Amino acid sequence: MKICFLIANISNKDGTERVTSMIANGLVNKGFEVGIITCKGDVHSFFTLDSRIKINTLHNENISNSLTRKIHSYNSIWKIVIRE
C-alpha cells in the first residue's frame, strides 16, 4: 500500500514535522511505500527519515499570483500522486 503525507514544510523542526517523520519511518519499516509532499522549503527533513521515503516539493518562487500558485500546487500534487 502507498501512503502520502502532505505537509507545509518538512525542513521545520516543529511538532507536525516530528510526528510526520516518526509515522512515515514506522510505516516504511512495516513495508508500506511512503512519500511526503512538502509545499515549501527544502526537501531535507530536520528529523531523520528512512532513505526509502520519497520527498517531493511544490515550491516554486517564480509564481507570484496566489490563484496561479494554488492551481500549480494542485497540478503538481496530482502529477506526483499519479506518478507514484
Write down the pTM of the prediction. 0.73
Compute the distance between CA of residue 18 and CA of residue 24 in angstroms, rounded to an integer. 10
Question: What pLDDT does residue 64 have?
Answer: 57
Question: What pLDDT does residue 63 have?
Answer: 54
User: pLDDT tens string for the chain (84 positions)?
Assistant: 899 998 888 888 889 999 999 999 999 999 999 999 887 767 788 899 999 999 988 766 655 566 666 777 777 777 777 776
**Bridge pairing between strands 33-38 and 54-57:** parallel
Domains of the chain: 2-83 (3.40.50.2000)
* b/e map 29-62, b = 16+ CB within 10 Å: eeeeebbbbbbbeeeebebebeeebbbbbbeeee
Question: What pLDDT does residue 81 have?
Answer: 75
